[in-house]
Structure 1
Amino acid sequence: MAQYVVIDIGGTTIKHAVMNHEAECLKSGSITTPKQGEKQIFNSLLDIINSYQKSFMIRGVALSVPGAVNPENGYVYFAGAVTDLTGRYLKKELSTLHLPIELENDANCATLAEKWRGNATECESFICITAGTGIGGGIFINGDLYRGRKGMAGEFGLMSLLFDEQLETALDRFSFSNMGSTRALVEDVSNGLDQKVSGEEIFLLQDNITVNASLNKFYNAFTSGCTNIIHALAPEKLLIGGGISSQPEFINEIKKRMEKIRKETLDITEVSSCYFKNDAGKVGALYHFLKRQKII
């Protein structure tokens, strides 16, 4: 059975695996995303793929990439926190491998995973939001993925949740990504406690007044962003992915706050978590590869 290297590039970590065409994981791992500005990320990707080729018969490479991409030629218009990818032709950068390479936006990959084998298999129109280093999103409308011009559709993290007279810096201060991402929550709690904490630790410290205040601010920002999206697109489902979505109380907190904003919101759209959690990007990248290569 053919095997494929699947890589999910994130602002903090690069997750990788070898999968077959049924999305069964044969081996996996992760590395820290290289510091940006030195172009080391291309060497890291080549090292990952080359190491798998020593043990597996690799037939292609599927990439989940942050930001806006052109799946046809591999050009990355915008890559969020992974700035070394911006303005580069990723397929060309990896051409020395002499393997078929396909790439798609990370949130689009999560969206495709949910449509393929997740919680949206029966949906014709749904939205997928991923919360991590930033906020990403995928839009599936009328039976197909909607990418928009330059692949920018679904960049929900660039929405401004607040504004003031300093519009030039509004996105730096008030964007969905800078107010409602897991990174923003971790930074806020770490600053408040004057010590570095992880996302998992935050939910063990909820009785702390400082932590509770940060969580409340985070939930309000995240809920406001999601409510705006529902009112703009009215999808059948809004699916939320990323590590934080696996917290037992997370979805219920979002729903409770949505009802405070406007009760009818939840009559329009069902809100739930993604089926694939942190593996969504990899599964969706594989599905995108298999479709583009006409294997399925």
Structure 2
Amino acid sequence: MFIGIDIGGTTIKYGLVDDQGRVSTKNSVQTSHIKDDLIHQLVTIIDNYKDEEIDGVGISAPGIIQKNGLMTTAGSIHSLYGTNLKMVLEEKVNLPISIINDANAVAIAEKWIGNAKDFENYLCVVLGTGIGGGIVIDGKLFSGAHGMAGEFGWMLIDRLPKEDIEKVSYNQRAAVVGGLCHQYNLKKHLENLEAEDVDVYDAFEIMNRAKNGEKVAQSVLEQFYTDLSVGLMNLMCNFDPEAILIGGGISENEEFSNQLKQRLEELLSKHESFHRLKNIIQIPIIPTKLQNDAGMIGAVYTLKQFL
């Protein structure tokens, strides 16, 4: 039996994961962004399972994570930057620890018991506040020379502005919160500079407003699907995957999936080289299966491979 822990910027999810990837006794706590407090939270979670026969602890976390457990970055949890979390925890709990980037955990969990079981070469794009990614080649995660591979959200997809060029990154144009919701709120403020409390951070609220005829919502959604599709096309020609899995809560929405596939097909048909190969090379866009448990499951799978 293993302990699976998924560290998020807001919540730490955890539970027991067996050899078949089944999760039980799940729970969660609010994430502390103070380093010592966060480490104490993790040690407490692990100690709470001391009556179980635990073989190790698999942890998924945001950021660029080295194979030795050094956290080069940690998303919004700035206090963990530069911390070797694996080493710190192993000294405190005397159990094998494995730490993996959260999007990579989703990708490899899908290979184990999810929608990528039949693929050896595929990509996983996780849509949330930003965009995370996982690259699986020959059935194994590819993390790059510095643990940075799969940071799809950093890609630039538009003409560069003179100032901060990250404004046209995949994160700020095609993520859910940092992209769709951010762009919607910008346009709503421009529409009425004196408007108050117009900020919306729910993709489905924007989709509903578009259905009800709101022009700003319709315009932003149209651009969102276009930007997301452009990024997927770039990934297709760079990696030639068997499939691209889309994760994050929005991926469960049928309307989102249908609209994305429709826009992607439209753009592929307008790209001469892609269009020429449409009957020869097909790369399906598939939602992930495991959703909220994927981080825990993927982290444990990685630990199992190490052990």
Structure-2 separation of matches of 1:214 and 1:20? 43
Partner of 2:302: 288
Decide which of 291, 300, 303 is 1:277's aligned counterpart: 291
Residue in 2 aligned with 1:84? 79
Question: 5+ unaligned residues in a row in structure 2: which ranges?
Answer: 189-196
The CA deviation string for residues 134-168 of structure 1, in whole angstroms up to 9 with x for no partner, is 111111123322111111111111111223352x6
Instruction: Summarize the Cα distance change of 1:40–1:183 in structure 2 as closer, same or farther, 3 Å threshold.
Output: farther
Cα 1:11/1:160, change in 2 over 3 Å: farther
Give the share of equivalent positions with the same residue, in percent. Answer: 35
State the TM-score, normalized to the length of structure 2: 0.84
1:31 paired residue number:
29
Question: Structure 2 CA distance, aligned partners of 1:196 and 1:39?
Answer: 34
Cα deviation code 1:242-277 (max 9, x no counterpart): 111001122222211112222247643111111212
* 1:261 is aligned to 2:296: no
**Cα deviations by residue, 1:83-108 (Å, 9 ceiling, x for unpaired):** 22221101122231111111111121
Q: 2:198 — aligned with what?
A: 194
Distance 2:164 2:154 in 1: 12
Matched, 1:177 2:183: no
Distance apart, 1:201 and its partner CA: 4.0
- Higher mean C-alpha deviation, range 190-199 or range 274-283: 190-199
Distance 1:13 1:180, change over 3 A: farther
Distance 2:292 2:171 in 1: 18
Instruction: Report how many residues are paired.
Output: 286
Question: What is the CA distance between 1:291 and its match in structure 2?
Answer: 1.0
Aligned to 2:3: 5
> Would the aligned equivalents of 1:223 and 1:258 in 2 still touch at CA under 8 Å?
yes
CA drift at 1:205: 3.9
Contact 1:11 1:133 in 2 (8 A): no
Offset, 1:77: 1.6
CA 1:178–1:282 in 2, change beyond 3 Å: closer, same or farther? same
1:121 aligned residue (85, 92, 117) = 117
In structure 2, C-alpha distance between the alignment counterparts of 1:99 and 1:134, rounded to whole Å: 32
> Which has the higher Rg, Structure 1 or Structure 2?
2
SS in 2 for 1:150: coil
Question: Aligned pair in 2 of structure 1 residues 59, 200: CA closer, same or farther (>3 Å)?
Answer: farther
Residue aligning to 1:232: 238
Listed one character per residue, the Cα deviations across residues 47-72 of structure 1 (whole Å, up to 9, x for unaligned) are 3323344x64433211112222123x
TM, length-normalised to structure 1: 0.87
| Among candidates 16, 35, 51, match of residue 18 of structure 1 | 16
For 1:149, what is the secondary structure of its paired residue? coil
Measured at CA, do residues 25 and 38 of structure 1 come closer, stay the same or move farther in structure 2, by a change above 3 Å? closer
Is residue 201 of structure 2 the alignment partner of residue 207 of structure 1? Answer: no
Equivalent in the alignment of 2:223: 217
CA contact (8 A) 2:177 2:201 kept: no
Shift of 1:200: 4.7
Relative to structure 1, the CA distance from residue 163 to residue 68 in structure 2 (aligned partners, 3 Å threshold; closer, same or farther) is same
For residues 92-126 of structure 1, what are the alpha-carbon distances to aligned partners after superposition, in whole Å with 9 as ceiling and x for unaligned?
A: 22231111111111121111111111222221211
Mapped partners of 2:218, 2:39: distance in 1: 40
Which whole-Å CA distance do the structure 2 matches of 1:222 and 1:149 have between them?
27
1:280 shift after superposition: 1.8
Contact 1:60–1:99 under 8 Å retained in 2: yes
Within 5 Å, which residues of 2 pair with 1:44-123? 44-53=41-50, 56-71=52-67, 73-94=68-89, 95-123=91-119
Name the structure 2 match of 1:152.
148
Moved more, 187-196 or 208-217: 187-196
Cα separation, 2, equivalents of 1:223 and 1:238 = 12
